């Protein structure tokens, strides 16, 4: 992959009052790449995604390029698909109508969008639940509806903020393999936040470890493990070696954030 990066971030910083959330964050993402991001709680991961999704602006001085063109963060609104950390399902809409929300806002044909969503239900393990409302679903199911919404809003770059956080271990590993499969078939570019180091390595072409706040890149680790990836990989020596490196970097930062009191309040 030596084409021009799809996304280029240089020296991105963001301050909220007294809190410096990001400082000098640099990252290039190549088209079709799967990049995972880990880092201590409160280090600015979601802030980074809000900027790349066009929902927030970085402080002056940083450079943001998308598809080779320098742009303001706000211009990215609607150009990337984004699954926020909270699922943001609307309680008065059923599964299908929640799934097509972003398409509807965009002005897509409603019945076509519904038909597409219905056809995707089995892939997301939601068959038979199309007419249910969020309060009738489990946490994991709500997360899958939110994920389906992100996939239905077809953009080259997808930002997924801890999409499997509410899933039990078994469903989670099923969803990881499912996501890899979908990603390989659709050739989307994914930026993926997680607190799970195994997940970050299992999914990623590269793992970005962030520093404690202010967030910057602490470690950028290539994951040169063959694809398709099977669960056995998790216990291989190659996997374990990468995991050790990533864990060392995270532990150092987590310790720092506790000692300096920069860990996010629970
Ligand atoms: N809109 C905002 N206004 C004020 N402070 C904010 C805002 N958004 C984020 N912050 C602060 O910026 C810092 C980084 O927050 P962010 O949500 O990006 O962390 P995170 O890395 O996603 O954490 P977690 O892993 O817990 O989700 C935190 O100290 C948070 O309190
Ligand atoms: Mg977050």
pLDDT tens-digit map of 53-74: 999 999 999 999 999 999 999 9
**Which residues have CB under 6 Å of ligand 1?**
16, 19, 21, 39, 41-47, 85, 213, 264
Cα 237 to middle of ligand 2, angstroms: 31
Nearest residue (CA) to ligand 1, atom 5: 16
Alpha carbon of 191 to ligand 2 centroid (Å): 13
Same domain, 50 and 112: no
Placement of tokens 């280029």 in the chain: 8
CATH (domain of 10):
3.40.50.300
- One domain for residues 181 and 65: yes
| pLDDT the model gives residue 2 | 57
Residue 1 and residue 57 in one domain: yes
| Same domain membership, residue 105 and residue 53 | no
DSSP 8-state secondary structure symbol assigned to residue 138:
-
For residues 75 and 27, what is the distance between their CA atoms, to the nearest angstrom? 19
Instruction: Note the ligand closest to the C-alpha atom of 44.
Output: 1
Structure confidence at residue 265 (pLDDT): 45
Last residue of a domain, one of 154, 169, 186: 154
Which H/E stretch holds residue 259? helix 237-259
The pocket of ion ligand 2, defined by CB under 5 A, consists of 45-46, 85
Total domain count, the chain: 2
Same domain, 147 and 168: no
How far does residue 42's CA lie from ligand 2's centre (Å)?
7
Burial (0-12, 13-18, 19+ Cβ within 10 Å), 156: middle
Q: Whose alpha carbon is nearest atom 24 of ligand 1?
A: 41
* Same structural domain, 91 and 199: no
Nearest ligand by distance to the CA of 48: 1
> Which ligand is the nearest neighbour of the Cα of 18?
1
Q: Are residues 149 and 163 in the same domain?
A: no
Q: Quickly list H helices, 121-164.
A: 139-152
* Co-location of 54 and 101 in the same domain: no
Two tokens at 61?
């001085």
Same domain, 61 and 2: yes
Ligand 2 centre to CA of 150 (Å) is 17
Of the residues 154, 176, 209, the one at which a domain ends: 154
- Take residue 203 and report the two structure tokens written for it: 């999914």
Residue 252 bridge partners (DSSP)? none
265 closest CA partner among 196, 200, 194, 213: 213
Give the SS3 label for residue 244: helix
**Statement to judge: residues 52 and 129 lie in one domain:** no
Among 131, 154, 177, residue at a domain's last position: 154
Burial annotation 96-135 (CB, 10 A radius, 16+ → b, else e): bbbbbbbbeeeeeeeeebbebbbebbeebebeebeebbbe
**Counting Cβ atoms within 10 Å, is residue 36 exposed (0-12), middle (13-18) or buried (19+)?**
buried
Question: Which strands form 63-66's sheet, in the order they lie side by side?
Answer: 19-29, 7-16, 63-66, 69-70
Distance 193 CA to ligand 2 centre (A): 8
Q: Which ligand 1 atom is at minimum distance from the Cα of 210?
A: 21
Question: Residue 142 belongs to what domain range?
Answer: 87-154
| CA of 49, closest atom in ligand 1 | 18
- φ/ψ of residue 206, rounded to 5: -145, 145
Strands 69-70 and 63-66: antiparallel
**pLDDT tens digits for the chain (266 residues)?**
457 999 999 999 999 999 999 999 999 999 999 999 999 999 999 999 999 999 999 999 999 999 999 999 999 999 999 999 887 899 999 999 999 999 998 899 999 999 999 999 998 889 999 999 999 998 888 988 998 999 899 999 999 999 998 788 888 888 899 899 888 887 899 999 999 999 999 999 999 999 999 999 999 999 999 999 999 999 999 999 999 999 999 999 888 777 776 655 44
């Amino acid at each position: 992959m030596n084409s021009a990066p799809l996304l280029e971030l240089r020296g991105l910083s963001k301050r909220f009052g007294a809190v410096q959330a990001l400082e000098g964050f640099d990252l290039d993402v190549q088209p079709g790449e799967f990049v995972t991001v880990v880092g201590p709680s409160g280090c600015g991961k979601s802030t980074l995604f809000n900027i790349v999704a066009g929902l927030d602006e970085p402080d002056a001085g940083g450079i943001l390029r998308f598809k080779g063109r320098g742009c303001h963060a706000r211009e990215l609104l609607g150009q990337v698909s984004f699954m926020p950390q909270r699922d943001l399902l609307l309680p008065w809409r059923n599964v299908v109508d929640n799934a097509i929300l972003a398409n509807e806002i965009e002005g897509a044909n409603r019945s076509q969008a519904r038909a597409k969503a219905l056809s995707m239900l089995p892939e997301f393990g939601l068959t038979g639940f199309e007419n249910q409302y969020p309060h009738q679903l489990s946490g994991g199911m709500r997360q899958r509806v939110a994920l389906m919404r992100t996939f239905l809003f077809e953009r080259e770059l997808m930002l997924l903020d801890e999409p499997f956080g509410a899933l039990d271990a078994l469903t989670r590993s099923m969803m990881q393999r499912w996501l890899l499969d979908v990603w390989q078939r659709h050739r989307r570019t994914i930026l993926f936040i997680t607190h799970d180091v195994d997940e970050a390595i299992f999914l990623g072409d590269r793992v970005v470890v962030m520093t404690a706040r202010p967030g910057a890149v602490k470690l950028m680790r290539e994951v040169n493990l063959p694809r398709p990836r099977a669960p056995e990989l998790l216990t291989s020596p190659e996997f374990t070696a990468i995991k050790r490196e990533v864990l060392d970097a995270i532990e150092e930062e987590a310790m720092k954030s506790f000692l300096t009191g920069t860990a996010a309040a629970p």
